[in-house]
Amino acid sequence: MTTLATETTIDPALQSAYDEVLRRNPGEHEFHQAVEEVLGSLGPVVRRHPHYLEASVIERLCEPERQIIFRVPWTDDAGQVQINRGFRVEYSSVLGPYKGGLRFHPSVMLGTVKFLGFEQIFKNALTGMPIGGGKGGSDFDPKGRSDAEVMRFCQSFMTELYRHLGEYTDVPAGDIGVGGREIGYLFGQYKRITNRYEAGVLTGKGLAWGGSRARTEATGFGTVYFAREMARHAGLSLEGTRVVVSGSGNVAIYAIAKVTELGGTVVACSDSSGYVVDEAGIDLELLREVKEERRERISAYAARRPGATFVAAGSIWDVPCDVALPCATQNELDEAAARQLVSHGLEIVAEGANMPCTPGAVRVFREAGVLFGPGKAANAGGVATSALEMQQNASRDSWTFEHTDARLGQIMTSIHERVVTTAEDYGRPGDYVFGANASGFTQVADAMLAMGVI
């Protein structure tokens, strides 16, 4: 295993840009973390290309093009008026319309949406597709709400947001708490208000009304395709490995499916109430029944599966594995968890979620020589397949599952190639964090420079 240098400090040439981010965005810790992670990689890039500094590209990129915050009033089943807050951060449109998901979770704040939007710019650039970066959401919690309540919330949310959207302007999709049901209600309201069947305005739609085959599976499948490329590149294989996947939502379920198909065994998965260990390998059919159909807690899986155990306290990262795929949420895997994983012989981490590993955890992985695939590269398959959905909508076409999945596989391979090549070009072989940040940034920065002071 090769140990990578731990460059976490920001180059002095970039420090003032970062200080300005801290001053202008007080209290937005996740946003600070995401910016620090990217700027921490860019020292060698601006030393080689000082014109990025001269044109203040970094300062410009740290400021979103537009930030929208709005009230979302709706009525619950008891007739009580509820108020939530809605957000859309239209971060960068230099490569195409703003593109990125909506998150409905009580923890959502402006800083959460900004961190996700900032990450999305570089992720979308890495796909090589014509999409800019944006993200949105609300502090609404769909858990425990009836379908009728979720529908009324989505309708109210879209009644404000629709004026900012359009297939050439801003194209949201799902994220935590926003799946096929929510996209259906959001699209229905958009269509109603605008009197237009503008299929390309939202992605993650149902197959009967403009959705793409393989979009549901894309983020989880793509993460595993990326992990497979990482393994291949290092002369390893996912076949026969022991894998832990955190979460049990959209990304986690399809990561589990793909790992199993490729001959790995997923021995644990989780939700916010705890985790299950199933040494025989997670039974996907049962997991989908519990989480997707019945919307139950993960303990219901262990209750129905002989040999499986549910652990309410502790961390899923205590479970020994060769490959870790964090697919739940940001900062779910900290330094202590990383040390525990390394002590158990961990070889590969690929982030299915956005920023699930803390900076301390990433440092531990790098020092231990664990292969680490950051989310902006590893989980880009979801947004890439959203762009494929937009292509199908624009051409009034519908591709087969096999064709779309094959395109997804090619895109993940080419992202891997791009990241590896960039890292090698800068004399940092195997440094996926550097390769992803430098490559994504360069593409966005060059487009910005070509367009003048924007």
Specify the residue, 178 or 364, whose C-beta has the smaller distance to ligand NAP. 178
Specify the residue, 4 or 227, whose C-beta has the smaller distance to ligand NAP. 227
271 binds ligand NAP (CB under 6 A): yes
- Distance in angstroms (rounded) separating the CA atoms of residues 209 and 201: 12
- 114 catalytically annotated: no
Torsion sign across C-alpha atoms 203, 64, 18, 107: negative
Number of other CB atoms surrounding residue 447 within 10 Å = 16
- Distance in angstroms (rounded) separating the CA atoms of residues 315 and 333: 9
User: Which two structure tokens, joined as six digits, stand for 29?
Assistant: 């810790």
Binding residues: 99, 120, 123, 174, 219, 250, 386
User: Which two structure tokens, joined as six digits, stand for 6?
Assistant: 């731990």
What are the Cα distances from residue 150, in Å, to 174, 302, 320?
A: 14, 28, 38
Specify the residue, 52 or 122, whose C-beta has the smaller distance to ligand NAP. 122
Using CB under 6 A, which of 189, 354, 392, 437 touches ligand NAP?
Answer: 354
Catalytic residue among 135, 191, 258, 376: 135
Contact pattern from residue 399 through residue 418 relative to ligand NAP, giving x for each residue in contact according to CB under 6 A and a dash for the rest: --------------------
329 binds ligand NAP (CB under 6 A): yes
Binding residues for NAD(+): 219, 250
Specify the residue, 296 or 425, whose C-beta has the smaller distance to ligand NAP. 296
Contact pattern from residue 169 through residue 188 relative to ligand NAP, giving x for each residue in contact according to CB under 6 A and a dash for the rest: -----xxxx-x---------
Q: Are the beta carbons of 88 and 438 closer than 8 angstroms?
A: no
The region of 63-71, 227-235, 325-333, 366-374 touching ligand NAP under the rule CB under 6 A is 325-333
- Distance in angstroms (rounded) separating the CA atoms of residues 34 and 39: 9
Using CB under 6 A, which of 124, 248, 404, 422 touches ligand NAP?
Answer: 248
What minimum distance in Å lies between the beta carbon of 328 and ligand NAP? Answer: 3
Return the residue nearest ligand NAP (CB atom): 249
DSSP 207-260: GGGT--TTHHHHHHHHHHHHHHHHHHHTT--STT-EEEEE--SHHHHHHHHHHH
Using CB under 6 A, which of 172, 210, 374, 382 touches ligand NAP?
Answer: 382
249 binds ligand NAP (CB under 6 A): yes
What minimum distance in Å lies between the beta carbon of 229 and ligand NAP? Answer: 17
- Distance in angstroms (rounded) separating the CA atoms of residues 174 and 152: 17
What minimum distance in Å lies between the beta carbon of 382 and ligand NAP? Answer: 3
Torsion sign across C-alpha atoms 125, 130, 133, 139: negative
433 contacts: CB under 8 Å, gap ≥ 6: 37, 41, 362, 366, 372, 374
What minimum distance in Å lies between the beta carbon of 145 and ligand NAP? Answer: 13
Specify the residue, 93 or 250, whose C-beta has the smaller distance to ligand NAP. 250
What minimum distance in Å lies between the beta carbon of 57 and ligand NAP? Answer: 25
Using CB under 6 A, which of 43, 133, 247, 373 touches ligand NAP?
Answer: 247
The region of 324-332, 342-350, 363-371, 443-451 touching ligand NAP under the rule CB under 6 A is 324-332
Q: How many residues bind ligand NAP (CB under 6 A)?
A: 24
Q: Are the beta carbons of 238 and 323 closer than 8 angstroms?
A: yes
What minimum distance in Å lies between the beta carbon of 227 and ligand NAP? Answer: 15
3-state secondary structure 347-389: CEEECCCCCCECHHHHHHHHHHCCEEECHHHHCCHHHHHHHHH
Amino acid at 288: R
Q: Are the beta carbons of 276 and 298 closer than 8 angstroms?
A: yes
Specify the residue, 149 or 271, whose C-beta has the smaller distance to ligand NAP. 271
Using CB under 6 A, which of 203, 250, 299, 340 touches ligand NAP?
Answer: 250
Using CB under 6 A, which of 92, 93, 138, 219 touches ligand NAP?
Answer: 219
The region of 126-134, 206-214, 321-329, 438-446 touching ligand NAP under the rule CB under 6 A is 321-329
User: Which two structure tokens, joined as six digits, stand for 385?
Assistant: 């397949």
Residue showing tokens 């029944």 = 289
Q: Are the beta carbons of 57 and 128 closer than 8 angstroms?
A: no
Residue showing tokens 């961190």 = 115
What minimum distance in Å lies between the beta carbon of 180 and ligand NAP? Answer: 10
Residue numbers at the binding site for ligand NAP (CB under 6 A)? 174-177, 179, 219, 247-252, 271-273, 327-329, 332, 352-354, 379, 382
